Amino acid sequence: MMTTRVLLVANTGTFVGGGQASLLGLVDHLDRDRFEPYVVCPEEGDFSEALLERGIPTLVRRMPSFRGPSVLRVPFAMSSWLDLVRRYEIELMHADGTRAMMHAGPVGKLASVPVLWHVRVLGTDGLLDRALARIATRVVVNSHAVARRFDFLEASSRGPCVIHNGVDLDAFTHARPDPALRRQWRLEGKLVLASLAQLIPWKRQDLAIEVLALLRARGVDATLILVGDEVPSSRGERARLEDIAKRRQVQDHCVFAGFRRDVPQILKQADLLLHTACNEPFGRALIEAMASSLAVVASGGGGVEEVVRDGVTGVVVRSDSPEVWAQTIARLYRDRRLRRQMGAAGRRRAEDYFSLESHVAGVERLYEEVLSSTQ
C-alpha cells in the first residue's frame, strides 16, 4: 500500500493551549501504513521539540505577517514553502489555524495540492474567513458551534466537517494521584477544584476565584488549582488574577500551576473541574476531566453543551453570578455519590465519543475523501 505524504502546518512552535495538544495527538497516531506526516512550525519551541521527540519530521518555515513591512518577506517565504512541498512530494496539506492557512492555502493552490483548513475558535475573521474557505479544499472544525462560523458554506458540498477532539484515554486511566503534589499544594482534606485554561480574560479565571472566595466564606475548605499560562496577547493576566485572589483573601488557597504537561496526574488530585470560559468553542479540558472520571461544572454556550450532558456528566451553569456557581458546587460538595455518578457517566461518554482513536479515524476518513475527490 502506498502512503500519502501529509504536511501539517502549525500556527506556533510552542504549546499555548489545547489546540497544540490535539494536533500532537493526531500526528502521533496517524496510521503510518497510510499516511506519512511532516510538520511545519513558524519557530522552534516546546511543541516542535515534542514532535521531534516522537520521531516526527518537523521543519521550521517563517510565516511573516501580511500586514506592515513584514509583507515584503511573504514572497520569499512562499518560495521556500513551494520548494518544501515539491522536495518532499507532499500530496495533502493540513493547516491548523488561520495563520497557518494564510500561508499553506496559497502554496497549495500554486502546487495543485489539496489543503484542509482546521478551525478551532469561534470568533470570525469576516472577509478573511470567506477568502480562506474559498481556497481550502475542505474546512474542518472541532464543534458544531464553530461550524456556525461558516454558515455561508452551508449550501455547498465543501461545507465544514465537524470532527470533535479526542484524548488518549489510557493516559487518564493509568494516572495516579501524586503524593508530592498533594503535599506541595496542601490539598489533603480539601475540596479541590481544578481549572485547565490559558490565562486570558475570556476564560474567566476571575470568576473561579470569586466562587472560591464564596465557598470558603461558607465554610467549604476548598482549594483552586489554576493550570495554564498567559499568551502574548494576555501579558499581565496572571498578576491581575493574583491581585484578585489577594483582595478576596484566598491567595493561600489558589495554586497558580502554570502550563503543565502532567494534566492526567493533576486531575487525579481534583474533586471537580471548574470550567468558567465564556463561549468555549469546544473545551478540551472538559473531555480530559471526563476521561479522568471527574464531574464538571461548566459555563453554557459555545461547544460546551456538545460535550457535557447537563445533570448527567456534570452541571452546565447558565449564569455569570458567582453566587449561582457557588451554590452549584456546594451541592455537589455535599453529595459525593452524585459526583462519582457524574464522573463515571463522563468517562463512559468520553469512551463513546471523545477518544483519540475516534478523532484520528475521523481525520483519516476526511483525508481519504479529499484525496479521492481530487484525483
What's the rounded Cα separation, in Å, for the pair 256 and 237? 12
Burial class (CB in 10 A: 0-12, 13-18, 19+), 308: buried
In sequence order, the β-bridge partners of residue 349 are: none
SS3 track for 109-128: HHHCCCEEEEECCCCCCCHH
CA 126 to chain centroid, in Å, comes to 22
What's the rounded Cα separation, in Å, for the pair 199 and 178? 24
Q: For each of the domains in the chain, give its residue range(s) and CATH number, in order of start.
A: 4-166+355-374 (3.40.50.2000), 169-353 (3.40.50.2000)
pLDDT of the residue at 15: 84
Strands 4-10 vs 92-96: parallel, antiparallel or unpaired: parallel
What's the rounded Cα separation, in Å, for the pair 51 and 60? 12
pLDDT one digit per residue (tens) for the chain, 375 residues: 689 999 999 999 988 778 899 999 999 999 999 999 999 999 999 999 999 999 999 999 888 887 888 777 888 888 888 999 999 999 999 999 999 999 999 999 999 999 999 999 998 889 999 999 999 999 999 999 999 999 888 655 578 999 999 999 999 999 988 899 899 999 999 999 999 999 999 999 999 999 999 999 999 999 999 999 998 888 999 999 999 999 999 999 999 999 898 999 999 999 999 999 999 999 999 999 999 999 999 999 999 999 999 999 999 999 999 999 999 999 999 999 999 999 999 999 999 999 999 999 999 999 999 999 876
First to last CA, the chain: 17
What's the rounded Cα separation, in Å, for the pair 180 and 130? 51
What's the rounded Cα separation, in Å, for the pair 8 and 67? 24
For 372, phi then psi, to 5°, come to: -70, -30
